[in-house]
Structure 1
Amino acid sequence: MTLMILSHPNFEQSIANKTIVTELIKQQHDLEVRHIYELYPDYQIDIAAEQAALLRHDLIILQYPMYWFNMPAILKIWFDQVFSYQFAYGSKGDKLKHKKLLASLTVGQPEQNFIVDQKNHLMQSFLKAVQASAQYAQMDYVDPVFLYDISTAIGHSEIQIQAKAKAHSQHLNTLINTLHQSKK
């Protein structure tokens, strides 16, 4: 089964993330979505509930918009508290071992704004901490997926953004199915 940790502080106003989640729920009937801003508006994470959710699933998707070249604040707090000693790491901290972690980000700007040269893509460097955290918790880090160029501020209509988000959701659906098949 798949768990999505949704971290969007303005989800109701979102076009891309809301479309991605809505479409993916239609395609993945065993998908559990935990919208952590909605669950914890006071940022007081229920660590036991979040750890229990992680234990129920083999694939964890982090779905969020890129904020200032990083994850939203609550997702960082979630990592800090949920990936705890003797749960995610330490001598008995193997509870996440071999679970897959996939980051799915929405980015307002076009992809070319993040390409330094043929060998260097800034988005990969922005996710080094997520990758290192997954590896430290003995998880299998899956190459992230990005949805670029989705800002209404740079002239895209809601319909254009929804179309891109639906394609992203379909890509995620295919990836989820492939990852689940590779486990069998």
Structure 2
Amino acid sequence: MAIIILAHPNFEKSVANKSIIENVRKCNPDIEIRNIFSLYPDYKIDVQAEQQILLKHNTIVFQYPFYWYNMPAILKQWFDVVFEYQFAYGSKGDKLKGKNFLPSFTVGAPESGYRTLGDHHFRVLEFCKNMEQTAYYAQMNYIDPIYFTGTSLAAGYTVKQVTDNAKNHSDRLIQHLDKLQ
């Protein structure tokens, strides 16, 4: 079974991530979704509770908006405390070994900006190396990220464009999850 670790600091105002989660809930209500910002707005994460949740699932999806070429701070904090020594790594830290690790995120800017001569210089996947290494270090199966670009209403994208793309994203995510089960 899969779990989605949702890490969006302003989920209620989100268009893209909110649409993705709503569609996943509608299409597969058995997928557990943990909104860690809602659970831990003070960033005081219950490490034991989060570890126990992870132990119950074979596939862990990390759903978040791409912030400054990385994950939101709450997700970084979650990794810092939940993927601790002798749980996720270390001589006895094999508790996540063999589980699937799947980043799923949204990017505000257009894909064209993520090129060598684009505004952001690097391709989107190049910014995911920290996630990939985290998965490998925890002996997890890293699955290439699912993402889509052009989610920023401030950049001129319409709500319809973003929600249509979010629906396509969530459909791809559900298909990936079905294959992994």
| TM-based fold match above 0.5 | yes
User: SS in structure 1 opposite 2:67?
Assistant: coil
Give the corresponding residue for 1:51: 51
1:10-159 to 2 correspondences below 5 Å = 10-116=10-116, 122-159=123-160
Counterparts of 1:62 and 1:116, CA distance in 2: 27
Gaps of 5+ in 2: none
Deviations 1:1-38 (A, max 9, x none): 11100000000000000000010111123211110100
In structure 2, the residue matched to 1:175 is: 176
List structure 1 segments (4+ residues) > 6 angstroms apart after TM superposition. none
The residue number in structure 2 matching 1:161 is 162
2:32, 2:10 → 1: CA distance? 20
SS at match of 2:105: strand
TM-superposed CA distance for 1:77, in Å, is 0.5
* Letter in structure 2 aligned against 1:89: Y
Identity, in percent, stands at 51
Distance in 2, matches of 1:64 and 1:109, equals 15
Distance 2:156 2:73 in 1: 27
Where 1:86 maps in the other structure, the secondary structure is coil
SS state of the match for residue 145, structure 2?
A: strand
> Which whole-Å CA distance do the structure 2 matches of 1:139 and 1:121 have between them?
26
Q: Secondary structure of 1:128's partner?
A: helix
Q: Quote the RMSD (CA, aligned, Å).
A: 1.2
CA distance in 2, matches of 1:104, 1:166: 13
Partner amino acid, structure 1, of 2:58: D
Structure 1 residue 150 displacement after superposition = 1.3
Moved more, 35-44 or 151-160: 151-160
Any unmatched runs of 5+ in structure 1? Answer: none
TM-score, normalised via structure 1 length: 0.93
Classify the secondary structure of the residue corresponding to 1:132: helix
TM-score by length of 2: 0.95
Distance 1:173 1:121 in 2: 28
Task: Give distance in 1, aligned partners of 2:176 and 2:34.
Answer: 20
Distance (whole Å) between structure 2 residues aligned to residue 5 and residue 15 of structure 1: 18
CA drift of 1:125 comes to: 1.9
Superposition deviation, residue 123 in structure 1: 1.6
Residue 115 of structure 1 aligns to a residue whose secondary structure is coil
DSSP-derived class of the 1:116 partner: coil
State the Cα deviation string for residues 95-125 of structure 1 (Å, max 9, x = none).
00000000011001111111228xx952222
